[in-house]
């Protein structure tokens, strides 16, 4: 029973991280960029988001 529960929870974690991982990383990146560099341009956030989507779709195959 514990093995099946552990397998299910790991499967859910992988699924949710592949689904929401780029979103969370982009939000964290934008918040950190705004905190550390308040006068920086906004375009690096879009580039970071595109790169994260590319990385997750290419390398995170579940």
Q: pTM of the prediction? A: 0.73
pLDDT in tens, 41-62: 999 999 999 998 888 888 876 5
Q: Contact, 57 vs 9, CB < 8 A? A: no
pLDDT in tens, 1-56: 899 999 999 999 888 887 888 899 999 999 999 999 999 999 999 999 999 888 88
| CA of residue 31 relative to chain centroid, distance | 14
Would you state the pLDDT for residue 15? 86
């Amino acid at each position: 029973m514990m093995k099946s529960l552990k397998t299910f929870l790991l499967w859910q974690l992988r699924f949710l991280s592949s689904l929401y991982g780029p979103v969370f990383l982009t939000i964290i990146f934008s918040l950190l960029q705004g905190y550390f560099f308040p006068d920086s341009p906004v375009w690096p956030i879009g580039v970071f988001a595109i790169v994260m989507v590319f990385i997750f779709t290419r390398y995170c195959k579940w």
